[in-house]
Amino acid sequence: CSGSKSSNSSAKKSAGKPQQGGDLVVGSIGEPTLFNSLYSTDDASTDIENMLYSFLTKTDEKLNVKLSLAESIKELDGGLAYDVKIKKGVKFHDGKELTADDVVFTYSVPLSKDYKGERGSTYEMLKSVEKKGDYEVLFKLKYKDGNFYNNALDSTAILPKHILGNVPIADLEENEFNRKKPIGSGPFKFKEWKQGQYIKLEANDDYFEGRPYLDTVTYKVIPDANAAVAQLQAGDINFFNVPATDYKTAEKFNNLKIVTDLALSYVYIGWNEKNELFKDKKVRQALTTALDRESIVSQVLDGDGEVAYIPESPLSWNYPKDIDVPKFEYNEKKAKQMLAEAGWKDTNGDGILDKDGKKFSFTLKTNQGNKVREDIAVVVQEQLKKIGIEVKTQIVEWSALVEQMNPPNWDFDAMVMGWSLSTFPDQYDIFHSSQIKKGLNYVWYKNAEADKLMKDAKSISDRKQYSKEYEQIYQKIAEDQPYTFLYYPNNHMAMPENLEGYKYHPKRDLYNIEKWWLAK
Amino acid sequence: MAAYIIRRTLMSIPILLGITILSFVIMKAAPGDPMTLMMDPKISQADREQFIEKYGLNDPQYVQYLKWLGNMVQGDFGTSIVRKGTPVSELIMARLPNTLLLMLVSTILALMISIPFGVLSAKRPYSKIDYGITFTSFIGLAIPNFWFGLILIMVLSVNLGWFPTGGVETLNTEFNIFDRIHHLILPAFVLATADMAGLTRYTRSNMLDVLNQDYIRTARAKGFKENRVLFKHGLRNALLPVITIFGLMIPSFIGGSVVVEQIFTWPGLGKLFVDSAFQRDYPVIMAMTVISAVLVVVGNLIADILYAIVDPRIEY
């Protein structure tokens, strides 16, 4: 069977000296699409790109930006330009040196009129990129935006100009390079992609931060989660992000250990303020107060998560230190009272609250195939029934649901949903009122003060100041309750018992894989 | 015979056309489009429009269909929308052989097991053997594929280690025919079970009908050996309706393989089909529809040809 099955199950804690060798077999539900970060948008492709290519910066496990390919980065013109010096002697997998030309080439692609990829918004603020020396590049921005330094630099895989330079940009996406023979300068080299089966990578001896300890990485595609867990137990894969429903089973498997930590995401109920029912802030606050989030976490999730109060992960540096935002803790009586204050009373004695002859009744939607969310919808239905609100639940196929909630439809009353957070916190896209008509503000949230704060935050590059600004934003959002924030879910990473050097990263499952090693 | 095959092939063209038109309309009627599932939620309106333009999703539906048809007839299935410009033919060719292999083996397996069992059942109706086979067949019919597959993986692969947990071959090894067969046994068996059960029942009841016919009595009276009576005189006649049923079963092989492939990590068309449907990857869905439709039409043609082989009275 697979080469890396750990023969020695009694791996001692002794970190010892890193040993070279072995194959890590990573299991993935999704199959990658192509290996070019200017076009790919799925997690599986990103996983592979992070091994194949190098990036100017890297966001570490604490979500801090660290230099990677860049030797130094200087902010100029108060954040309107960045001067980046890159490391010398970095080599692509075909032996050619990586220089400023390659960086300029890569970043020029999305600026071109012919670029038709879907990553355009990442580079929206970028005006130009030019070569200043063999190892120096100058980026100029149209406007200040923290997303450039924090997002664009660490998510753009540097492509080899000597291979792709002559390809017309309109044809770049379909070029064979992306799928058949990607050449990067990252810790691992591309060996083979057997469609529907696996991707094989091997160590790059000339990696500029030193050869990885692992000889090979096999990225195996296993479309069915149950089958993946069986393969984990049989040792056919040995690294896998185990679904929450299965991790208790996986804990009992031999030769494996499981690292559990918060994922960089949260689950919420969005209240559509376009609907009269949810226009009143008081009502939304009452709804949150009527929901027992602690018991949702302990009952539905079996304790596998953490109650959320704001749209920011506790893992982030931007999470307010001493959090004292309004929490609206569970209190049935108070919820009823708050609704009464907002004018909702049961005047006709049918057990359902009413106001001006209208019943408090709505439909709660969620996506099909997510068992936890389906369960939550039912629990919410039960809990709101207790205070006289009638909830109908509806489970909708994913594409159909996205279509319903997207502009210009906004066809939902309330929905159980989740957001995966970016490593750089920015709530503008989701909560700014300019994002209602064409954006992700599906719930029609509007708060003029919050709007201004979110806009201003965009031009702050100092992280301390940024956090201060965001503390106020989170205060406002928590007070207004456009969402009822439910919880932060956990990740469960299963890996060989003798895997050393592993660091949990909330966003990148294979972060720092070049430093992992298997103790013998 | 050759004329018949040509005629049937020509007749299948309007059928295939009808299938593609219907599929196209239904596919387009499903809510959402490939854009709704693109992972980066920050896609701007401009990017979105550019994208829609690029794949011609702005054209009226009949134009889209005709464009697709024109390209398809020339052997061009287009490029996948979700899989970023990967040619559809490449996606399919990487998987089709695996699916065909699985289907073929499981079909042969189903026939090899169900026909003898059906005959055995009919030979001594209402005996212990008959009841045993009937009972087992009904269990086979009732067990859901995915559950049976997972149980077999748990018991035979994970716990006992007799079979691999999935895939077509052991990772990091050279091609080895025995290794391939080893990987094929469980998925083929699971895929075959439901059909096996049905075929056994059909064979049994047809055999029973035939064995009550006068010519069987005549054959026995002439003193032929029982096996000769059963297989030469009985089975050949009993198989005729079974062939019809078998032809009708071919579509279910394709449908059933979707689940089995997923459970056994079999790199076939199943997963691609399901993903594409959920992601509204139109070019891939259409290509898959054409392929399934062709398989069904060809399957039925083969069934008709088999008729002529089994029943000398039939001539085309």
Counting other chains too, the contacts that A241-247 makes at CB distance below 8 Å and 24 or more residues apart are: A241/A491, A241/A492, A241/A493, A241/A494, A241/A509, A242/A492, A242/A493, A242/A494, A243/A492, A244/A301, A244/A304, A244/A372, A244/A489, A244/A490, A244/A492, A245/A371, A245/A372, A247/A304, A247/A492, A247/A494
CATH number of B91-308: 1.10.3720.10
Q: Angle between the B96-123 and B128-142 helix axes, to the nearest 10 degrees?
A: 150
CB A144 within 8 A of CB A80: yes
Least confident of A8-12, A133-137, B98-102, B130-134: A8-12
Q: Tell me how close the Cα of A231 comes to any Cα of chain B, in angstroms.
A: 6
Q: Which of B202, B200, B198, B187 is nearest to B106 (CA)?
A: B187
Q: What is the C-alpha separation between B2 and B19, in angstroms, rounded?
A: 26
Q: What is the C-alpha separation between A177 and B196, in angstroms, rounded?
A: 46
* CB within 8 Å: B172 and A3: yes
Residue type, A273: E
CB A96 within 8 A of CB A162: yes
Q: How many CB atoms lie within 10 A of CB B245?
A: 16
**Beta strand segments in A43-89, E:** 57-59, 65-67, 70-76, 81-86
* CB within 8 Å: B172 and A116: no
* CB within 8 Å: A227 and B37: no
pLDDT score of B257: 80
pLDDT score of A11: 42
What average pLDDT does range A363-390 have in this prediction? 93
Return the half-sphere exposure (C-beta side, CA atoms, 13 A cut-off) of residue A119. Answer: 24
Percent of chain A with pLDDT over 70: 97
In which band, very low, low, confident or very high, does the pLDDT at A53 lie, cut at 50, 70 and 90? very high
pLDDT in tens, B124-181: 888 898 899 989 888 888 888 889 999 999 899 888 989 998 888 887 778 888 888 9
Task: Give how far the C-alpha of residue A56 lies from the chain's centroid of Cα atoms, to the nearest Å.
Answer: 20
In which band, very low, low, confident or very high, does the pLDDT at B201 lie, cut at 50, 70 and 90? confident
Residue in chain A nearest B30 by alpha carbon:
A400
Domain residue ranges in chain B: 15-75, 91-308
Q: Angle between the A463-480 and A448-457 helix axes, to the nearest 10 degrees?
A: 160
Reduced to 3 states, what is the DSSP secondary structure of residue B62? Answer: helix
Contact of A226 with chain B, judged by CB distance below 8 Å, is answered with yes
Between A377 and B316, residue with greater pLDDT: A377
Q: What is the C-alpha separation between B181 and A380, in angstroms, rounded?
A: 51
Least confident of A433-442, B164-173, B250-259: B250-259
pLDDT score of B310: 75
The token duo for A302 is 């079996």
Residues of B in contact with A438 (CB under 8 A): 45
Between A299 and B257, residue with greater pLDDT: A299
* CB within 8 Å: B84 and A39: yes
Size of interface A-B (CB pairs under 8 A): 147
CB A79 within 8 A of CB A144: yes
pLDDT in tens, A125-158: 999 999 999 999 999 999 988 889 999 999 999 9
If contacts are CB pairs under 8 Å, which of residues 15-74 in chain A contact chain B? 23, 25, 33-34, 39-43
Q: Which of B115, B113, B137, B133 is nearest to B124 (CA)?
A: B133
pLDDT in tens, B263-299: 898 888 888 888 888 888 899 999 988 888 888 888 8
Most confidently predicted of A349-363, B77-91, B299-313: A349-363
Question: Using CB atoms within 10 A of its CB, is residue B159 exposed (0-12), middle (13-18) or buried (19+)?
Answer: exposed
Q: What is the C-alpha separation between A100 and A84, in angstroms, rounded?
A: 9
pLDDT in tens, A386-396: 999 999 999 99
What average pLDDT does range B106-115 have in this prediction? 88
In which band, very low, low, confident or very high, does the pLDDT at A381 lie, cut at 50, 70 and 90? very high
Q: Which of B32, B31, B28 is nearest to B20 (CA)?
A: B28
Between B309 and B130, residue with greater pLDDT: B130
Residues of B in contact with A197 (CB under 8 A): 167-168, 265, 267
Which of B44, B166, B279 is closest, CB to CB, to A121? Answer: B44
Task: Give how far the C-alpha of residue B72 lies from the chain's centroid of Cα atoms, to the nearest Å.
Answer: 23
Contact of B140 with chain A, judged by CB distance below 8 Å, is answered with no
Q: Which of A137, A130, A125 is nearest to A83 (CA)?
A: A137
Contact of A361 with chain B, judged by CB distance below 8 Å, is answered with no
Q: Tell me how close the Cα of A118 comes to any Cα of chain B, in angstroms.
A: 6
pLDDT score of B44: 65
Q: Following DSSP, what letter does each residue of A262-326 receive, concatenated?
A: E-SEEEEEEE-TTSGGG-SHHHHHHHHHHS-HHHIIIIISTT-EEE-SSSS-TTSTTS-SS--S-
Percent of chain A with pLDDT over 90: 72
> What sign does the CA torsion over A433, A435, A436, A437 have?
positive
Contact of A170 with chain B, judged by CB distance below 8 Å, is answered with no
Which of B32, B42, B51 is closest, CB to CB, to A121? Answer: B42
Q: Angle between the B177-211 and B236-263 helix axes, to the nearest 10 degrees?
A: 140
CB A233 within 8 A of CB A253: yes
pLDDT in tens, A183-227: 999 999 999 999 889 999 999 999 999 999 999 999 999 988 888
Show Cβ contacts of residue B29 under 8 Å, excluding neighbours closer than 6 positions: none
pLDDT score of B140: 85
Contact of A8 with chain B, judged by CB distance below 8 Å, is answered with no
Q: Which of A158, A144, A154, A182 is nearest to A103 (CA)?
A: A158
* CB within 8 Å: A236 and B267: no
pLDDT score of B39: 43
Contact of B222 with chain A, judged by CB distance below 8 Å, is answered with no
Contact of A195 with chain B, judged by CB distance below 8 Å, is answered with yes
Residues of B in contact with A125 (CB under 8 A): none
Counting other chains too, the contacts that A198-205 makes at CB distance below 8 Å and 24 or more residues apart are: A198/B171, A199/A32, A199/A48, A201/A48, A201/A51, A201/A52, A204/A93
Show Cβ contacts of residue A314 under 8 Å, excluding neighbours closer than 6 positions: A262, A306, A488
What average pLDDT does range B303-314 have in this prediction? 78
Q: What is the C-alpha separation between A100 and A103, in angstroms, rounded?
A: 5
Between A483 and B108, residue with greater pLDDT: A483
Give per-residue burial for A32-62: e unless 16+ CB within 10 Å, then b: bbbbbbbbbbbbbbbbbbbbbbbbbbbbbee
Q: How many CB atoms lie within 10 A of CB A376?
A: 24
pLDDT score of B43: 62
If contacts are CB pairs under 8 Å, which of residues 174-213 in chain B contact chain A? none
Residues in chain B, total: 316
* CB within 8 Å: A397 and B278: yes
Residue type, A169: I
First to last CA, chain B: 5
pLDDT score of A15: 60
Question: Which backbone phi and psi does A432 adopt, to 5 degrees?
Answer: -80, 140
Q: What is the C-alpha separation between A284 and A277, in angstroms, rounded?
A: 9
pLDDT score of B253: 67
Question: Using CB atoms within 10 A of its CB, is residue A209 exposed (0-12), middle (13-18) or buried (19+)?
Answer: middle
Which of A121, A222, A236 is closest, CB to CB, to B43? Answer: A121
Average pLDDT over chain A, rounded to an integer: 91
Q: How many CB atoms lie within 10 A of CB A364?
A: 21
Which of B33, B37, B47 is closest, CB to CB, to A120? Answer: B47
For residue B168, the surrounding DSSP H or E stretch is none
Average pLDDT over chain B, rounded to an integer: 84
In which band, very low, low, confident or very high, does the pLDDT at A80 lie, cut at 50, 70 and 90? very high
* CB within 8 Å: A196 and B271: yes
Does position A9 have pLDDT exceeding 50, yes or no?
A: no
Q: What is the C-alpha separation between B271 and B273, in angstroms, rounded?
A: 5
Contact of A209 with chain B, judged by CB distance below 8 Å, is answered with no
Which of B31, B172, B268 is closest, CB to CB, to A2? Answer: B172
pLDDT score of B232: 77
Does position B227 have pLDDT exceeding 70, yes or no?
A: yes
Q: Tell me how close the Cα of B156 comes to any Cα of chain A, in angstroms.
A: 11
pLDDT score of A474: 95
Indicate whether this complex's ipTM tops 0.95.
no
* CB within 8 Å: A33 and B38: no
Q: Which of B180, B156, B157 is nearest to B167 (CA)?
A: B180
Does position A10 have pLDDT exceeding 50, yes or no?
A: no
Distances (CA, A) of A182 to A69, A93, B153: 18, 9, 36
CB B263 within 8 A of CB B153: yes
Which of A118, A218, A400 is closest, CB to CB, to B43? Answer: A118
